[in-house]
């Protein structure tokens, strides 16, 4: 009987919809769940993967060492779209399939990015906290309506943000090396250089994958280009932002504020941002709603069952692994 490790918290995997787990069990799979955070280290993950055929993976480290040691593992189904914690080359060498739930949470992240822009501009958190302390201030906020919104990266989420702020009649600027020009024309997106985007935008929202080329894309030099009234929002990957440079810009008044759903280290060890009144923080939950959780869980389970049946799964990131894939030793019913 094949087994799957649910490496994300069970309350995330199931929430209101138990059918992803039921789908696995109906197909004859044994479902294991992790407890605590021991599996977030290499040694802990190796121990958790002992005898496991597939995993619904969170942010734990699927390094070459882990993938080599986990000899029964055949499929890493990332619950989400990021894969910077998975060594794709090592997985391909070992014949371990790696998939993501592409298209399952785009709308939630786009909604959250716009919510952070509105929250920053309208001072929602600082006003709320002031009232909770028996205050009643008169601070003046900023509109999103008809402002310049700079979108860094026009993938599925970036395009979703563009669609939403188009309804605010925003002037939309975008930095995107490989743009969908028909989309840009439809939503009035003006393609610009990164430098022009940073210098002109009232709100900047990041939607790039993390790679060696994009690490610290938001750095001291680009922050220095921003207006002192401008805000930056990151719902993509924490490593896109040089946090030392951002903290300096926020505390010096170089920029007006920031909305951060992701951090360089998670959970963050740098707690300086917690005390800043011009920052809104959320715990990497932009793409986690009851609706997106259900969609991601179903997609991860479907990709595991497809690979088990010998069908190329949705969201396969390392096609070289397909011909080298480790064999299942069980009847493929279901």
Is 176 in the active site? Answer: no
List 22, 25, 169, 266, catalytic entry: 266
* Cα dist from 251 to 199, 202, 284, whole Å: 19, 18, 23
* Cα dist from 147 to 75, 150, 191, 202, 203, whole Å: 45, 10, 16, 6, 8
Is 298 in the active site? Answer: no
List 78, 159, 284, 314, catalytic entry: 284
List 78, 159, 207, 237, catalytic entry: 237
Is 237 in the active site? Answer: yes
Catalytic residues: 237, 266, 284
């Amino acid at each position: 009987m094949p087994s799957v490790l649910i490496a994300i918290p069970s309350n995330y995997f199931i929430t209101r919809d138990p059918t992803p787990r039921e789908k696995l069990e109906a197909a004859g799979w044994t479902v294991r769940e992790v407890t605590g955070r021991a599996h977030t280290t290499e040694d802990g993950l190796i121990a958790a993967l002992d005898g496991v055929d597939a995993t619904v993976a969170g942010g734990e480290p699927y390094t070459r060492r882990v993938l080599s040691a986990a000899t029964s593992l055949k499929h890493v189904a990332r619950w989400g779209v990021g894969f910077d914690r998975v060594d794709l080359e090592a997985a391909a060498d070992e014949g371990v399939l790696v998939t993501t739930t592409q298209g399952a949470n785009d709308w939630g992240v786009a909604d959250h990015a716009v919510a952070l822009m509105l929250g920053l501009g309208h001072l929602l958190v600082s006003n709320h906290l002031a009232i909770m302390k028996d205050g009643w201030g008169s601070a003046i906020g900023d509109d999103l309506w008809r402002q310049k919104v700079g979108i860094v990266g026009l993938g599925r989420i970036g395009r979703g943000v563009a669609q939403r702020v188009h309804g605010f009649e925003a002037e939309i600027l975008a930095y995107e090396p490989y743009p969908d020009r028909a989309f840009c024309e439809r939503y009035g997106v003006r393609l610009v250089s990164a430098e022009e985007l940073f210098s002109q935008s009232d709100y900047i929202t990041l939607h790039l994958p993390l790679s060696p080329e994009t690490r610290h894309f938001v750095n001291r030099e680009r922050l220095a280009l921003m207006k002192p009234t401008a805000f930056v929002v990151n719902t993509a990957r924490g490593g896109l932002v040089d946090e030392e440079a951002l903290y300096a810009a926020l505390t010096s008044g170089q920029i007006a504020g920031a909305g951060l759903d992701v951090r360089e280290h998670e959970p963050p060890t740098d707690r300086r941002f917690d005390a800043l009144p011009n920052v809104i923080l959320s715990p990497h939950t932009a793409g986690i709603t009851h609706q997106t959780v259900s969609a991601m869980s179903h997609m991860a389970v479907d990709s595991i069952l497809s690979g088990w049946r010998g069908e190329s799964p949705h969201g396969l990131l390392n096609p070289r692994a397909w011909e080298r894939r480790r064999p299942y030793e069980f009847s493929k019913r279901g």
